[in-house]
Amino acid sequence: MGLKVDQLRICYRTLRGDVTAVDDVTFDIADGEIMGLAGESGCGKSTLGNSLIRMDVRMRQLGGRVELDGAELPISDARAMRDYRFKVVSIIPQYAMSALNPTRRVGKMVSELLRSRGFDYKSALPEFERRVKLVGLDADILKRYPIELSGGMKQRVVMIVSTLLNPSLLIADEITSALDVSTQRAVGEMLLEFRDRNFVKTTMVITHDLSILAQVADTILIMYAGKLAEKARTDVVIGSPLHPYTQLLISSLPEVGVRHDEHTLVGIPGRPPPLLNPPSGCRFRDRCPFAFDRCAADPPFVEVQPGHSVACWLHADGVSPAGGAEQC
Amino acid sequence: MLTLDNVTKVYKTGTFGGESLPAVRGASFEIRPGEVTSLIGESGSGKSTLGKMILRLTPVTSGTISFEGTDVAGLKGKRLREYYRHVQGVFQDPFSSYNPVFRADRVFATIKRSYFPSVSNSEWHGRVEASLESVGLNPVDVLDKFTHQLSGGQLQRILIARALLLEIKILVADEIISMIDASTRVDVLNLLANLKSRGLGVLFITHDLSLGNYISERTIILRRGVVVEMGATQKVFDNPQHDYTKMLLTAVPQLHKKWGAGLAPELEAMGVTSEGEGRPGRYSRSSMHPLAAMHAWKGHRAQVVAAALETAASADRTDTYLRTHEEVPPLVEVEEDHFVVTSAGAE
Ligand SMILES: Nc1ncnc2c1ncn2[C@@H]1O[C@H](COP(=O)(O)OP(=O)(O)O)[C@@H](O)[C@H]1O
Ligand SMILES: Nc1ncnc2c1ncn2[C@@H]1O[C@H](COP(=O)(O)OP(=O)(O)O)[C@@H](O)[C@H]1O
Ligand code: SF4
Ligand SMILES: [Mg+2]
Ligand SMILES: [Mg+2]
């Protein structure tokens, strides 16, 4: 049944006011689906991922609903979420690798984690060791210290630990960003392998790197300034994106084979707007080469083809004013 | 021109420096004016060590680095400062290059003090502004800002603008774009590429092959401190000779080509057709019995995963055991301006 997120709004309480980092976000991830979540830094990707599992004290849910496997996920209720975390919903946070305690053996960390969640280390050990081998590591890794492991080894350990109890939803936040290409590939293939083996049901892969998503994701969701910009199957987002932001993101990526002297790529001028008092209308307006008068209003996120949704006035022809208003 | 001749760096490690780690071994290459040379390698391969030796931030253990014919190892005082007037570096983490409470204009003031004490303030301001404009920044946007108010791309450009105030001939850029969003990264890359037209030689250090390919004339592939392949970028990328180069090229994530795509033909021969994505695991099962097709791609996937993991595992070993003190085999020229290390010497 997967994950259903409906009109979710999450803000940070700050002294200067509310920062709405996830603003009216609606999407589904089906069972067995790997959804990529992309956008420039500061667009709200981590906030969205974190809100599904661990709201920090400054975060507030302003509205919306999250459903996992047909039942509501009580994301605002920290106490209730404790029963879900790690077992049902698991996250590999951004910088998880560097957060490993360097002076504690891997085995000790795993046993402490399991025990703190009320699980028995001894009985989980055979499965842990099986998965360690599956990802090409030695079982003696349990006796080693994180400091002795390379980035790729640490990331794989973190990934096995986070999925040991076969969670329904895995959120992987920038897990390949600090890795070399060969280990990036190994970790990317692991995401697919874990999905194929049903170690995880639905996966959300957060990254600013679209070329990784082109490899591992079934669908891609593009966020801009706290809002949804576009969602579609991976080949559609990469091959025929409709939102100007997605188009510009993709055209700014150098691919092997593209050379500066033959084909000069261009970046996206400017920066995403601040989310404390964001500008009205389309938030991409001041960077968008296609902006026109209609863009002074907030574009609705509408399905333009089956499975392909876009929030842009260039692609909202069929939208009745009522349909648009409903979204605001 | 900056030339490295048989440069080796051995770090002393362990409590009393009793162990030694050869981080760079027998590296010989040139950084030529008007060219971008990419130094590509995975983490721990010795890229930064090479950059630091060029910038005299760490001494060479053996071999020579010479700039316009002079060995840079012996430079001191005024002559060293003269060297830095021509050879500058920009590093990975722009934030560590600054004290965060500094305003951006402070980084320019330090240069003025060391190199241009007699230039008047108004003349200096003019030069700073011109330099900022030449890297695509609007001086009023950045000059009175604290560093934390600037984006990664802006900070990197400021550092490049700072280097350009000197009469630099060589710029060492160590992983400078890795902290920046892809949307602004390409503008910094274009900026580096454009420095060529000023006659600058750039050493562009990266672990990202697609970035190296995009801006460089020449490419050096470094593995475990050893140059395994180098030459004209197009030749290295179009006709890779060393297995390690080939592995890097297949592992680099691309937008329009799937990782597993290279292994697909066996499957197609079995009647399994791809759904246009080329990824094993997404095969439609048209002409085969569904179960047979399923097994075929599962087996195939396992193979793909095993291969990826094996290359990663061999990379994991990089820092620990396999680094040896053995003699580095010589590079041989396989075609004009394309060299590869002989035998599987670096394995
Ligand atoms: N603790 C916080 N307090 C206030 N604002 C925050 C906090 N954490 C993140 N933000 C803001 O929320 C926005 C989204 O941040 P984040 O979710 O980390 O984006 P991403 O993961 O896409 O880089 C940013 O504008 C950021 O400044
Ligand atoms: N100051 C140092 N002392 C001891 N070992 C070092 C030092 N700096 C780097 N190393 C080691 O030298 C090797 C090469 O490092 P480095 O040049 O930083 O590689 P790269 O930049 O390619 O990641 C690594 O194994 C690293 O651990
Ligand atoms: S709604 Fe207007 S400004 Fe926004 S992306 Fe579309 S065209 Fe550009
Ligand atoms: Mg983030
Ligand atoms: Mg380095």
Question: What would the DSSP string read from start to end of A133-162?
Answer: HHTT--GGGGGS-GGGS-HHHHHHHHHHHH
Which residue in chain A has the smallest CA separation from B313?
A136
In angstroms, the CA B64 to CA B45 distance is 20
Judge contact between A145 and A105, C-beta under 8 A. Answer: yes
Q: Per-residue pLDDT for chain A (328 aa), expressed as one digit of tens each?
A: 899 999 999 999 998 899 999 999 999 999 999 999 999 988 999 999 999 998 888 999 999 999 999 999 999 999 999 999 989 999 987 777 777 788 889 888 888 888 888 888 888 899 999 999 888 888 888 898 888 888 888 888 889 989 999 999 999 999 988 788 878 888 888 899 899 889 999 999 999 889 999 999 999 999 999 999 999 999 999 999 999 999 999 999 888 778 888 888 998 988 889 898 899 999 999 999 999 999 999 999 999 999 999 999 999 876 654 444 433 3
Asked if B51 and B128 sit in the same domain, the reply is yes
Q: Are A220 and A36 spatial neighbours (Cβ–Cβ below 8 Å)? A: yes
CB distance B254–A196 less than 8 Å?
no
Residue B154 and residue B90 share a domain? yes
Residue A34 and residue A46: Cα distance in Å, rounded?
A: 17
Q: For chain A, what is the domain count?
A: 1
Torsion of the alpha carbons at B310, B316, B320 and B326, rounded to the nearest 10: 60
Q: Sort out which chain B residues have CB atoms less than 8 A from A188's CB and list them.
A: 253, 259
Q: Is B181 in the same domain as B256? A: no
Q: If you search the block for the tokens 């179009």, which residue do you land on?
A: B238
Q: Which domain covers residue A67, as residue numbers?
A: 3-95+168-327
Return d(Cα A250, Cα A144) in angstroms, integer: 41
A152 touches chain B (CB under 8 A): yes
CA of residue A48 to ligand 4 center, whole Å: 9
Q: How far apart are CA A124 and CA A135, in angstroms?
A: 17
Q: Identify the burial level of B216 via C-beta atoms within 10 angstroms of its C-beta, where 0-12 means exposed, 13-18 middle and 19 or more buried.
A: buried
Q: Are residues B182 and B262 in the same domain?
A: no
- Within A207-248, strands assigned E span 219-224, 227-233
Upper half-sphere CA count for residue A67 (Cβ side, 13 Å): 13
Residue A2: name the closest of A71, A77, A76, A52 by CA. A71
Q: Which atom of ligand 3 is nearest to the CA of A292?
A: 2
Instruction: Copy the structure tokens of residue B36.
Output: 């971008």
Same domain, B172 and B43: yes
* Per-residue pLDDT, B269: 54
Could you tell me if residue B238 is inside a domain?
Answer: no
Sheet with A308-310, strands from edge to edge, namely: A89-92, A169-173, A202-206, A34-38, A219-224, A227-233, A308-310, A302-305
Please check whether residue A135 lies inside any domain of the structure: no
The structure's pTM equals 0.87
State chain B's mean pLDDT as an integer. Answer: 80
The C-alpha atoms of residue B280 and residue B278 are separated, in whole angstroms, by 6
Q: How far is A170 from chain B (nearest CA, A)?
A: 20
For chain B, say whether A254 makes contact (Cβ under 8 Å).
yes
Q: Is residue B315 part of a domain?
A: yes
Q: What is the pLDDT of residues B202-247, one digit of tens each?
A: 999 998 888 999 999 999 999 889 999 999 999 999 999 988 888 8
Evaluate if residue B248 carries a pLDDT over 60. yes
Which ligand minimizes its atom distance to the CA of A223? 1
Residue B24 CA: which ligand is closest? 2
Q: How many CB atoms lie within 10 A of CB A147?
A: 10
> Do residues B96 and B199 share a domain?
yes
CB-based contact A48:A225 (threshold 8 Å) = no
Report which residue type is found at A114: L
Reference B127, options B167, B92, B86; nearest CA is B167
Q: Is residue B344 part of a domain?
A: no
- Of all protein residues, whose CA lies closest to atom 26 belonging to ligand 2? B44
Residue from the list B207, B233, B276 with its beta carbon closest to the beta carbon of A180 = B207
CATH number at residue A293: 3.40.50.300
Residue B212: name the closest of B10, B35, B4 by CA.
B35
Q: Which two tokens stand for residue A88?
A: 């049902």
pLDDT (tens digit, 9 = 90+) per residue, A278-321?
Answer: 999 999 999 999 999 999 999 999 999 999 999 999 998 766 54
Q: How many domains does chain B have?
A: 2
Sign of CA dihedral A141, A145, A149, A154: positive
Sign of CA dihedral A302, A278, A62, A84: positive
Q: Of A180, A187, A237, which to mutate for an interface test with B (greatest number of B Cβ within 10 Å)?
A: A180
